[in-house]
Amino acid sequence: MSNRDSRQFMRDLIADHPHLRPNYDEHLKDNDGDLLPHLLIADICRWVVTEQDSQPLQILQLLSWLEVHFAGMSDAKDDVDNAIAVSFIEHLPLLSEPGADVVLLLGPKMKAQYEQFSP
């Protein structure tokens, strides 16, 4: 697998999930127009945890989309997988913390990665 461009990945994510456009626009504003994939996907992770009860369908669709695009750290390690693993999955709450219900919605590859990060 070639090394996918994480900036293009983030633009694709926003295009496929237009409800995240405000997060994207705010991110660009806060970073002088620079798209910083790790920071943006961490912001999206916080949005997922915060909005999981009020926007369950959008959360499920987003997590499913990420699962499809996540090769899993054991299979391939490129910029996209690294961003998803380190700046999204690793930032999810521990099972003992508030908001951890979102972990139950993860697909098998993301769940396996989560289990590597969580104690």
Q: What is the dihedral of CA 97, 16, 2, 113, to 10 degrees?
A: 20
Alpha helices (H) along the chain: 6-16, 21-30, 37-51, 56-69, 79-87, 108-117
At residue 74, the pLDDT reads 60
| Cβ proximity of 16 and 55 under 8 Å | no
- Domain boundary assignment for the chain: 6-117
Residue 10 has which token pair? 């983030």
Which residue is associated with the tokens 């709450």? 93
Q: Which residues contact 8 (CB under 8 A, 6 or more apart)?
A: none
Per-position pLDDT tens, the chain of length 119 = 468 899 999 999 999 999 999 999 999 999 999 999 999 999 999 999 999 999 999 999 999 999 999 986 565 578 999 999 999 999 999 999 999 999 999 999 999 999 998 76
3-class SS at 113? Answer: helix
Entry pTM: 0.91
